[in-house]
Structure 1
Amino acid sequence: MARTPAPGTRRRIMLVASRLFRDHGVRAVGMQQVIDETGLGKSLLYREFPSKDELVAAWLRESDEEWWRIAEDAIDRHTGDPVRRLFALVELTAESARSPGFHGCVFYNTSLEFRDDDHPGRREALAHLRRMRDRLRVLGMEAGAERPDDLADALMLVIGGLYVSAAALGPDGPARVAVSTAETLIREHCPVPAAAGA
């Protein structure tokens, strides 16, 4: 008779996989490493996640949900100030890039690790990035941007550059000007100036 997984088994796997994937990249981590670090049997791991691809996709879905919970909370703190709401999302990305042990954005990193558009990890990563782009566009519209699509794309370039630069050269390298660059872009596109210090 098959053993019933203990409560919290899936959570335990996800916590270990998340740390390993963030620290080493997805391709560098094998299922045996996840098994070893969780202390679980192989059958328990594969019962929860029948393949590494499914584990990667589940990790990215959970990372996406966590990111948007934090992001929407940051945005909602500025209800009534649409320009500040837009700027809050950029600030949040800068804060994450300054966090200790930052190795880059897991969504950008994973999308680059897997070039096949049908790979579950790449699909989840790109879904997050498209959602980010769309959220910036909507926030730009709410802030009165004359060309919200252009503003969203420009801010995506700033955010992507911020993540890559911070991972490679640290937060005190070129990433340090990302927030002021985003503020300049928002000022150029929106009729009401962005109040970064507000």
Structure 2
Amino acid sequence: MARTPAPGTRRRILEASAKLFGEQGVRAVGMQQVIDATGVGKSLLYREFASKDELIAAWLRESDAQWWEQAEEVTAPHSGDPARQIMALMEFFQASVREPDFHGCIYYNTSSEFRDPAHPGRQEATLHLKGLRNWLRDMGAQAGAEDPDALADTLMLVIGGLLANGEVLGVDGPARMALATAELVLRQHCPNALAGAAL
């Protein structure tokens, strides 16, 4: 008779995988490491996740949901002020880079590890980043940007630079310029929303 997974097995696997993938990179982690970290048997692991690719995709989907919950928490206090909400999100990115266990953005990291557009990990990473770009575009439109797409794309470059430089050169390197740069971008694209305002 097949063993029934104990309650919380899937959760334990995802939590252990998140730690391993975040610290070592996705490709570097084998399924045996996940088994060792969780203490579950191989059959139980593969019952929950039929393949490593499936595990990677599930981890990124869950991470995406958690990320948007955090983003909502930091932007909600500024509801009705989309320009300030954008800056609140930028501050959230800056704070994440300052965390001692920051190893880069899991979405950019995963997409760079898997170049095949059809890979489930790359697809989930792309969905997250497109979602972020769409949010920035929508907030920009609400803030009165003449070209919300240009605003979103420029801010995506700032965010990507912040995360990449923060991981390699530290938060006191080029990453320290991210907030000031984002503010300049907002003032350029949304001058009426920010006229006389201190972000």
The Cα RMSD (Å) is 0.9
Q: Report how many residues are paired.
A: 196
Kindly indicate whether residue 18 of structure 2 is the aligned counterpart of residue 18 of structure 1: yes
Kindly indicate whether residue 129 of structure 2 is the aligned counterpart of residue 129 of structure 1: yes
- Counterpart secondary structure, 2:78: coil
Q: Counterpart amino acid of 2:124?
A: E
Offset, 1:95: 1.2
- In structure 2, the residue matched to 1:144 is 144
- In structure 2, the residue matched to 1:107 is 107
CA distance in 1, matches of 2:171, 2:53: 31
- In structure 1, the residue matched to 2:71 is 71
Q: Counterpart amino acid of 1:168?
A: V
Q: Which runs of 4+ in 1 moved over 6 A?
A: none
Kindly indicate whether residue 194 of structure 2 is the aligned counterpart of residue 195 of structure 1: no
Q: Counterpart amino acid of 2:6?
A: A
- In structure 1, the residue matched to 2:93 is 93
CA distance in 2, matches of 1:111, 1:17: 17
CA distance in 2, matches of 1:141, 1:156: 15
- Structure 1 unaligned residues grouped into runs of 5+: none
What percent of counterpart residues are identical? 63
CA distance in 1, matches of 2:99, 2:147: 32
CA distance in 1, matches of 2:40, 2:92: 36
CA distance in 2, matches of 1:49, 1:76: 35
Q: Counterpart amino acid of 2:198?
A: A
Query: What do the CA deviations read for 1:68-107 (whole angstroms, capped 9, x no partner)?
Result: 0110221111012221112112111111111112110000
Query: What do the CA deviations read for 1:91-132 (whole angstroms, capped 9, x no partner)?
Result: 111111111121100000001000000000000000000000
Offset, 1:164: 0.3
CA distance in 2, matches of 1:78, 1:104: 27
- Counterpart secondary structure, 1:192: helix
Q: Counterpart amino acid of 1:26?
A: V
TM-score normalised by L of structure 1: 0.97
TM-score normalised by L of structure 2: 0.96
- Structure 2 unaligned residues grouped into runs of 5+: none
CA distance in 2, matches of 1:96, 1:134: 21
**Aligned positions of 1:36-47 closer than 5 A:** 36-47=36-47
CA distance in 1, matches of 2:26, 2:53: 10
- In structure 2, the residue matched to 1:50 is 50
- In structure 1, the residue matched to 2:7 is 7
CA distance in 1, matches of 2:27, 2:81: 42
Offset, 1:40: 1.0
